[in-house]
Amino acid sequence: MTRRLSTYEDAVVFHGHTCPGLALGYRVAEHALKTLHAERSEDEDLVAIVENDACGVDAVQAIAGCSVGKGNLILKDLGKHAYTFINRKTGSAIRLVQRPEPLTERLDPAAAALRTKVMSGKATPEEEKEFGERQAAIIQKILTIPFSELFIEKEARSDIPERARIFGSVQCASCGEIVAEHRARVKNGKIVCIPCAGEYSRGW
């Protein structure tokens, strides 16, 4: 059976709305699949390491098939629009980093000024309408302009993360809830979950 290729509309349905961030994530996932000669991951063959928790990550999930539950989506929230993809079958990897030039200012300077007014609640209904139209045009540009105008492709370490492991469960002696054993703690000689263990820090 031939698999249907996922589309941007699939990402929109998954995410809930269209936006520039989602479009960027779509381009990233699309480029990674093509470059690494991979298909949408049904298991863990394709791994994505994302360095932000923004809209684009939802596109990576929808298009590339990488997810936390399968263990092939690893979130390192470093505040960077950077994405590393690893093909387990071939060992090849790429790192994609968004270009440093402000995107909206490059694609539509007028929209950048309008965005400030809209987000602060100071825009008129006419300005809000215009902003929506400009946003739609920006999204269309993101989906169609050369990938190199959006992201820089870099070499990536192809250290392949371990496949997801299944751990046993234990019962917290304090709250009675079940917790995966590798996340459990010991408090006063009893096995407890992280919230019941409490935090201990001396500023380190």
pLDDT at 204 over 80: no
Q: How confident is the model at residue 58 (pLDDT cuts 50, 70, 90)?
A: very high
How is the chain split into domains, by residue range? 8-99+150-155, 166-204
The class (CATH top level) of 8-99+150-155 is: alpha beta
* Range in 9-13, 24-28, 157-161 the model is least confident about: 157-161
- Give me the architecture of the 166-204 domain, per CATH: 2-Layer Sandwich (3.30)
Residue 15 pLDDT > 70: yes
Q: What pLDDT is recorded for position 1? A: 43
Among the residue ranges 55-64, 115-124, 144-153, 187-196, the one predicted with the least confidence is: 115-124
pLDDT higher than 80, residue 111: yes
Nearest to 191 by CA among 203, 204, 167, 174: 174
Structure tokens at 123: 């825009």
- Quick check: 172 pLDDT over 60? yes
User: Which helix (H) or strand (E) covers residue 171, if one does?
Assistant: strand 169-171
The pair of three-digit structure tokens given for residue 116, joined into one six-digit string: 């400030």
pLDDT at 35 over 90: yes
